[in-house]
Structure 1
Amino acid sequence: MSELTRIPAPDGVAPATAYTHVVMGTGRFVAISGQLALDEDGKLVGEGDATAQAHQVFENLRRCLTAAGATFDDVIKLTFYVTDMAHMPAIRTARATHIPDDRLPAASAVQVAALVRPEFLMEIEAFAVIAE
């Protein structure tokens, strides 16, 4: 695991809620492409169900991190692409099963008109730094 420094609210910046403003680390950089709610056979998990999709996406992120020799403790940034901001509570709940509040990475949430297929409600990408 990389040594990460989290700065939740730099001077003059409003307090962070559900993310950390600044995360710094040294080591190898890992970029994980946006993950979708697909199982290992490429089948959609949770059609129309934001909670099921969020849990599958975080499981896919976990598997990608593991393949890179990383864990969620190494994640410095998450980007959430959602078709409806109403899905954010489901994403936060799924995230909480993998990342405790005191280890929250930097994050951005963007509502998009569509994802690659209409049945996908969200796509989440991650950036991590792992020790050399």
Structure 2
Amino acid sequence: MSDAIHAGNAPQAVGSYPHARRAGDLLFLSGIGPRSAHDNSIPGNVHDADGVLLAYDIAAQCHAVFANVRSVLEASGAGMDDLLDVTVYLTDMANDFPVYNRIWAEYFPDPAQAPCRTTLGITALPTPIAIELKCIAIART
């Protein structure tokens, strides 16, 4: 049996699924992107008058995605220190990985204490975002 978790301070899910699910001593977070919980905007995205995406700021999206992960973890009774494994999806690995990797080190400065991580370059995500995180954490009771 597992418990669904919906975080009030995180953006709504893009589909019909919870922000996280607790199963025993583990938390499984659904894919978390950088959208704002307040207005569903994507930090750093620049659009033309027709709404076409012209540019994005990967640093802004990285900080926003970590804030959203933190919100879901806190709603689950956990914190960033409880992360065990993170899968990262980047839509432009060649250009965005160096910035992302630098920002990762701001949140996890000690590699010995950082969660495990896998980073994948993919062609697209369901909304016009450049990064998404899929996380597993320790569930605190």
Equivalent AA in structure 2 for residue 94 of structure 1: I
- CA-CA distance at 1:45 after TM superposition: 0.9
Greater RCO (CA < 8 Å, at least 6 residues apart): 1
CA contact (8 A) 1:81 1:110 kept: yes
2:63 matches 1:55: yes
CA contact (8 A) 2:73 2:80 kept: yes
Report how many aligned residue pairs link the two structures: 105
CA contact (8 A) 1:58 1:94 kept: no
2:109 matches 1:111: no
Please, which of 82, 100, 105 is the counterpart of residue 90 of structure 2?
Answer: 82
What runs of 5+ residues in structure 2 fail to find an aligned partner?
Answer: 1-23, 46-55
The ranges of structure 1 where at least 4 consecutive aligned residues each deviate by more than 6 angstroms after the TM superposition are: none
Partner of 1:98: 107
TM-score (norm 1): 0.72
Identity among equivalent pairs (%): 31
Deviations 1:56-104 (Å, cap 9, x if unpaired)?
0000001111011111111000000111112122222332333232311
- CA-CA distance at 1:35 after TM superposition: 1.2
RMSD between superposed Cα atoms in Å = 1.5
Please, which of 29, 40, 52 is the counterpart of residue 42 of structure 1?
Answer: 40
**C-alpha distance in 1, partners of 2:80/2:59?**
19
Deviations 1:95-118 (Å, cap 9, x if unpaired)?
23332323111111111111112x
What runs of 5+ residues in structure 1 fail to find an aligned partner?
Answer: 1-26
TM-score (norm 2): 0.68
